[in-house]
Amino acid sequence: MFMLTRSRYSYRFPCHTRCLHTGIRATNRPFQKSVTRRIAIISATAISIYAIDELYYASLLQRSARAVYVLLWVAYQYSRNIDKYDSINDLHEIASEKLFAMIEKNKGLYIKQGQAVANQASVFPVAYQKRFSGLYDAAPQDLWSDVDRVLRKNLGSDYETQIFEYIEHDPIASASIAQVHRAKLKEEQTLVAVKVQHPYISKQVAVDLAVYRGISWVYSRLFDLPLSFFTRYISDQIIKEADFRIEAAHSERIAKLLREDKALDNSCFHIPATYNMYTRKQVLVSEWIDGVSLADKNKLVDAKFNLTTLMSQYLNLFGRQIFEYGFVHSDPHPGNLLARFHKGKQQLVLLDHGLYVSLSPKFQSEYCELWKYLFCFDQKSIERIAEEWGVGSTDLLSTIVQLRPPKNADLSKSRNSLDLIRSLLGDEAKFPLELLFISRTMRMMQNLNQSMGSPVNRVNLLTNSAIQSSHRTKLDLTHRATWLQILQIRFGLFFSDVVFWFLRLRQLILGRFYGTTGKGLEDYIDAYMKETARSFGLEFAEEVPV
């Protein structure tokens, strides 16, 4: 019986096991098929989204996701995770590296924003100053097939035979928003510069600026900074810059202002003419100018240009824009300026008219007064303007304007740059947003004059321009206080000139007239500004000017 039972159970157990396994396999097949199908659908959807985003939407989703991730990561590290780093400089290095890599990958408007950071070097840690200065060389170049597509869309499919005699396929220059090709118009038989917007800009600009505004809102909450109030203003300026029809209008307006300005020698300046019949939102056709870029000092010297005359023209041009016209080119870096000899006379050519700021009469008048009070040592008037502008710390504004250490000991001991920004922006509702771009323009002017060896006393020239402007406060010469004010201004200008010419004479004697190694007035101003800024807890890379 034992054998029979064993035989019976021996026989039945394998049968039961096989049936059980068969049932499990039968049950698993639909489940496995369902999982496989879901994975396939998800993968296909992801690949499709990636392909559509890459081919039709200029990588908007990828770029936005990359930017949001990196910017939120940086915000989290600085606001919540800073104690995990050995030193704050370690975090600066890591964060700046991540941001730089993201900007370089995203291109377009991200490069433009990164260049703005580089231009505001004194506000950011040394790690950011060093890395972001490389963004000026990071502008992408498009393939001719992409450029051709933009030109066909804007000028018609037969543009290469109907409009142009020829157009060079290799770009002459490239920037964050567009690149430039040289061409010859068929009908006019003249050489022109054809500025073609990068094909992805039109698709990216709205989303990129939405990301910018959103992240600014997050940063303003995390760091308790009033950032959101000016992000809309900056976004509006960038949107205008991306429309080349607006740039053409800017070009014509500044050319008209220069022609009608009797205080300037019009033959010293030139604004390239635009061909509006060929200009579209993404394409700008303008007069071709042969000249030497102000970015190359050695070429200027070799070509026998007088740098003193050149810088006087440059500073006078922008002084008139700020203090007289109220219409200011806000991107006056050396690459946007050419020098040439025209009819035997040295001439300054101003390029790239996409970014202009119109000054309100109230702000323009107060800004003129501010330059006057700089030489009057009129602290009460500076405080009045600070209150008008909603600046929380008049001492901080006076320090920035007068280039002196702060009077307030507590302020000078502050080591937190965020606190300084908060104290400067006391009432954002009053703060003149034009000042953001005017300060940028002024800094570029100072940097260019310094790079040329300080051949011109920039402060005196601009102060005279402010005083002589028709928008200045009219002086009542019947009052004794007014005469005292005039004497103070003249004494300040005279003393500034004495210092300038002493340093200039020393450069001449040492054979360093163009500032190759000898220090000019701008170098001393720059050093003094850095020392003053260091009292606020700001540091600088040695090669980065304030």
Q: Do the strands 345-350 and 269-270 form a parallel or antiparallel pair, or are they unpaired?
A: parallel
Note the residue count of the chain.
Answer: 546
228 CB burial (10 A radius; 0-12, 13-18, 19+): middle
Q: Is 490 left (phi over 0), alpha (psi -120 to 50) or beta?
A: alpha
Do 293 and 164 touch, CB atoms closer than 8 A?
no
**Can you tell me the distance from the alpha carbon of 542 to that of 546, in angstroms, rounded to the nearest whole number?**
10
Name the residue ranges covered by the structural domains of the chain.
60-138+202-239, 293-546
Provide the pLDDT for residue 76: 87
Provide the pLDDT for residue 487: 78
Rg (CA), the chain: 31
**Can you tell me the distance from the alpha carbon of 543 to that of 521, in angstroms, rounded to the nearest whole number?**
17
Render each residue's pLDDT in the chain as its tens digit; 546 residues.
334 444 444 444 455 545 545 554 555 556 555 656 555 555 444 444 444 444 444 467 888 888 889 988 988 888 888 888 888 888 889 998 998 898 888 887 888 777 777 666 556 777 887 887 777 666 778 999 999 999 999 999 999 999 999 999 999 998 889 999 999 999 989 999 999 999 988 888 888 888 888 888 877 777 766 677 778 888 888 889 999 999 999 999 999 999 999 888 888 999 999 999 999 999 999 999 999 999 999 999 999 999 999 999 999 999 999 999 999 999 888 889 999 999 889 999 999 999 999 999 999 998 888 888 877 777 788 888 888 888 876 666 666 654 455 555 555 555 556 666 666 666 777 888 888 888 888 888 988 998 898 899 998 899 888 888 754 555 555 555 566 777 777 787 888 888 888 888 888 777 666 655 567 878 877 776 666 656 555 555 555 444
Q: Do the strands 178-185 and 191-197 form a parallel or antiparallel pair, or are they unpaired?
A: antiparallel
Q: 373: which 2 tokens?
A: 């009070």
Provide the pLDDT for residue 471: 46
Pick from 461, 465, 480, 489: nearest CA to 381: 489
Provide the pLDDT for residue 176: 85
**Can you tell me the distance from the alpha carbon of 269 to that of 543, in angstroms, rounded to the nearest whole number?**
32
Per the DSSP assignment, residues forming a β-bridge with 422 are: none
Spatial CB neighbours of 125, under 8 Å, sequence gap ≥ 6 = 89, 92, 96, 539
**Can you tell me the distance from the alpha carbon of 517 to that of 520, in angstroms, rounded to the nearest whole number?**
9
pTM for this prediction: 0.79
Provide the pLDDT for residue 490: 79
